[in-house]
Amino acid sequence: MMRVKVKPELLRWARERGGCYFSIAGNTVSLFTKKPWAEDKSFTVETEVARFRYHKEQRVWELFCEDRSGRWCRPKGTRPDRSIMPLLAKLKDT
């Protein structure tokens, strides 16, 4: 079993945006939003917004977003980064 230490700034980022949370599975961190359903506010809708994949050999993170066809791909203009935080900042641009 792999132990993952989540950086405090990652948790702070999600907390500041409200309704965001992360799920970690292996080398992938998934970002979700949780919002009330427009038709009935007693229900919530969870949407996976982005995936971040860590490449241990290169020690870099990659950002993936879902395209219109439902495929996960790297958004144009993004490059792998040693920190996940700059990739989170790119989300508002994608």
Under a CB-based contact definition with an 8 Å cutoff, are residues 21 and 6 in contact? no
pLDDT at 94: 44
Assign 6 a pLDDT band (cuts: 50, 70, 90): low
Would you kindly state where each structural domain of the chain is located, as residue ranges? 8-93
Write down the residue that tokens 């992938």 correspond to: 28
Q: pLDDT tens across 16-47, in order?
A: 887 888 888 989 999 998 888 888 888 888 89
Whole-number pLDDT of residue 70: 92
Share of the chain above pLDDT 90, in %: 44
Map tokens 């949780």 to a residue: 34
- Considering the chain, what is the average pLDDT of its residues? 86
